[in-house]
């Protein structure tokens, strides 16, 4: 892990705090049981999609995002969670 990634890790928490962001999964050991998986999984939870977008676009995060994107391979996505209780067939109604 090079110095830019270390700096990114040292600085990301302060960007999350004002947006209620928190790590749910961060580099945990994965057991891939089906299909290829290219590497590390990181999941950050936010109160809602708009807050996640605001964090990503924030000046504080934009100051450090290149430390990650220029020095690692990966994708970033925003996805909605499910309401509790959730059953697989609920997606058929939506």
| Residue 5 in this model has a pLDDT that exceeds 70 | yes
Q: Which listed CATH number (3.40.50.300, 3.20.20.70, 3.40.640.10, 3.30.70.100) goes with 3-93?
A: 3.30.70.100
Enumerate the β-bridge partners of residue 43. 25
Q: What tens digit of pLDDT does each residue of 49-73 get?
A: 999 999 999 999 999 999 999 999 9
Alpha-carbon distance 72 to 64, whole Å?
13
Q: Where are the domains of the chain?
A: 3-93
pTM across the whole model: 0.86
Q: What tens digit of pLDDT does each residue of 11-54 get?
A: 999 999 999 999 999 988 899 999 998 888 999 999 999 999 99
- If you search the block for the tokens 């964090």, which residue do you land on? 55
């Amino acid at each position: 892990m090079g110095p830019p990634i270390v700096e990114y890790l040292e600085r990301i928490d302060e960007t999350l705090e004002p947006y209620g962001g928190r790590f749910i999964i961060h580099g945990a050991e994965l057991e891939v049981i089906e299909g290829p998986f290219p590497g590390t999984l990181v999941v950050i939870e936010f109160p809602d999609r708009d807050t996640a977008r605001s964090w990503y676009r924030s000046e504080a995060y934009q100051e450090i995002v290149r430390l990650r994107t220029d020095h690692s391979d990966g994708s970033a996505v925003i996805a909605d969670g499910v309401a509790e209780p959730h059953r697989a067939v609920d997606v058929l109604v939506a």
